[in-house]
A and B are shown apart, each in its own frame.
Chain A
Amino acid sequence: MVTLDFGAVLAEWPLLLRGMGTTAALTAISAALGLGLGVACAWARTWGPRPLALAVAGYVELIRNTPFIVQLFFLFFGLPSLGVRLSPEAASVLAMVINLGAYAAEIVRAGIESTPRGQVEAGLSLALTRAQVFTRIVLPPSLSRVWPAMTSQIVIVMLGSAVCGQIAAQELSYFANLIQSRNFRAFESYILATLLYLTLAVSLRQLLRWAGPRFIFGR
C-alpha cells in the first residue's frame, strides 16, 4: 500500500508557485506573439503573393510534422553553433511562438476560406482597399468562427511547455521534477503538478473565452 505524504511536497510551495508563474508567463507571451504570427501566416497563404504563400506552407508543414521537443532542442542546443545563445526561457518562448504560429496559421486559414466570396466582392465594389477588406470584413468573423479551436490550441501549447523543463527553463514541471528528486516523493509531486496544470488550463480556457469576443474580434 502506498502511503501519500503531501506535506513534504507542499512544504516546497514557493517553488511550485514560482513554476506556475513562469508557466503562465511563458504561455501569455507566446500566445500573444503566436496568434499574431498565425494571422500573418494565414493571410500570406490565402491573400499573399505566391512565393510567400509557398514559403509559409513550407514552414507550417515543417513545424506541424516535427515534435515540439525536437524544435526546442534545436533552438537551445543547435543555435549556439551559429553564435546565437538564448537563455532557457527565451528559447522556450521562441519555440512556443514558432510552434503555435504554425498551428494557428492553419486554424485561421480555415476561418478565412470559409468567408463567402460575395462579402469580399461587396467590400471591393464599395471601393475598400484589399487591406481594409481583409482586416474589417474577412478577419473578425473568421476569428470568431475558429476561436474555440484556437483556444484549444493555446491550451495545448501551455501544456506542451512542460517539456521546457528539459532545457532547464524553470517552469512548473521543472520544479515538480526538482522536488521529487530531492525528497523522492514522486507520486505526490506529480499529483500536485497535475492539479496545478488542470487549474491553469481551465482558467486559461475561461479567460480566452471571455477575452476573445471583447478584445480580439470585437463585439
Chain B
Amino acid sequence: MQRRQLVALGLAALALAPLAAPAQTALDEVMAKKAITIAIPTDFPPYGFVGTDLKPQGLDVDVANLIGSKLGVKVELLPVTSANRIPYLQTRKAQLVISTLGKNPEREKVIDFTAAYSPFFQAVFAARSLPVKSFADLADKSVGVTRGAIEDMELTRLAPPKADIKRFEDNNATVSAFVSGQVQVIATGASVAGNMMQRNPQLGAEFKLLIKDSPNFIGVAKGEDKLRAKVNEIIAAAKAAGELDALARKWLGRPAGDLPN
C-alpha cells in the first residue's frame, strides 16, 4: 500500500516534471486569464457549506471571494473534501486551497502555506448573560462536552474539580443538551459552535474561553512563491483593515485573534 503510493507519487512527479519546471507561473496565469480557481469545502460549516440557495457559503468562501476581488479577477470555486484538497493543488487543478487547512510538517513537504487567515479552535461557549471569565468560573456550572474529543481531554485538565462536566456521546447530543438548556456551558470545536450559534440565535451564546488553538492556512502549490507573496500581501492588508476580524466574528462568533504568519 505504502510502496504503491510512493510509486504512484513518483510517476506523478515524473509526469509533472515538465509542468513543474516553469514554476512561479500561477500568478501570471491568473492575471492573464482574469480568473482564479480556489478549492473550498462544502461539508464543513461554518467554514464552507451549501446554503438553502444551493450555493457554497461560509468563512472560507468569503475569504476566497475577498482574495479574488483584491486580485481583481473572477473566482471559480471548486468544492473539495478534506482528503482530496492537497492533491487538487499538486495537480494544479486549483491555484489556492482555502479549506480549513492546518499546517504541519508532513504537509509542508508537499505544498506551501501562506499566512494564517482564520482561527480554528476548541473553546468554551455560553450565554452572554452567564459570567465566565476564567476556567475557575466553571465551578458549580454544568458543562457539556463530547466524550473523548480533544476538548474533553483539555477541559478535564483545565476545569476546577467543582465544575459539573457532562460528557455526551457525540457532537449532536452535546449541542442538543446545550440548545435545550440541559447544560449551561458547552465546550466544543469552532465549527460546531459556529453552526450551532447561527441556527439558534435565540440562545445569545458567545465565545467565552479558549481551550486550544490551531489556525487555518491557505495552501499554494510547492514553489509558487510569487502567488504566495501576493496572497500574503492581501492577507496582511485584510488583517490590518479588520476584514479578517469581521469575517471571524460573522461566522465563528469571536475575533480572529493573533494569527501566525
A interface residue numbers (CB < 8 A to B): 76-78, 80-81, 85, 88, 165-168, 174, 177-178, 181-182
Q: Bound complex: CA of A81 vs CA of B177, how far in Å?
A: 11
6 more A-B residue pairs beyond the given contacts A77-B177, A167-B173, A181-B148, with a C-beta to C-beta distance below 8 A: A80-B180, A80-B181, A88-B182, A166-B168, A166-B169, A178-B167
| Interchain CB contact (< 8 A) of A80 among B152, B166, B182 | B182
| Interchain CB contact (< 8 A) of A168 among B148, B152, B177 | B177
A168 close to B167 (CB less than 8 A): yes
Q: Which of B169-185 touch A at CB < 8 Å?
A: 169, 173, 176-177, 180-182
| B interface secondary structure, majority | mixed
Interface check B250, CB cutoff 8 A: no
Interface size on B, residues (CB 8 A): 14
Q: Bound complex: CA of A177 vs CA of B152, how far in Å?
A: 13
Given A77-B176, A181-B148, A181-B152, is A167 in contact with B168 using a C-beta cutoff of 8 Å?
A: yes
Q: Bound complex: CA of A201 vs CA of B166, how far in Å?
A: 27
Q: Bound complex: CA of A165 vs CA of B166, how far in Å?
A: 10
A88 close to B166 (CB less than 8 A): yes
Kindly list chain B residues whose C-beta atoms are within 8 Å of the C-beta of A85. 181-182
Interface check B147, CB cutoff 8 A: yes
The distance from the CB of A76 to the nearest CB of chain B, in whole angstroms, is: 7
Q: Bound complex: CA of A85 vs CA of B180, how far in Å?
A: 9
Q: Bound complex: CA of A167 vs CA of B176, how far in Å?
A: 10
5 residue pairs A–B, Cβ–Cβ below 8 Å: A168-B177, A174-B167, A177-B147, A177-B169, A181-B148
Q: Which of B135-152 touch A at CB < 8 Å?
A: 144, 147-148, 152
Most chain A beta carbons < 10 A, residue from B144, B167, B176, B182: B182
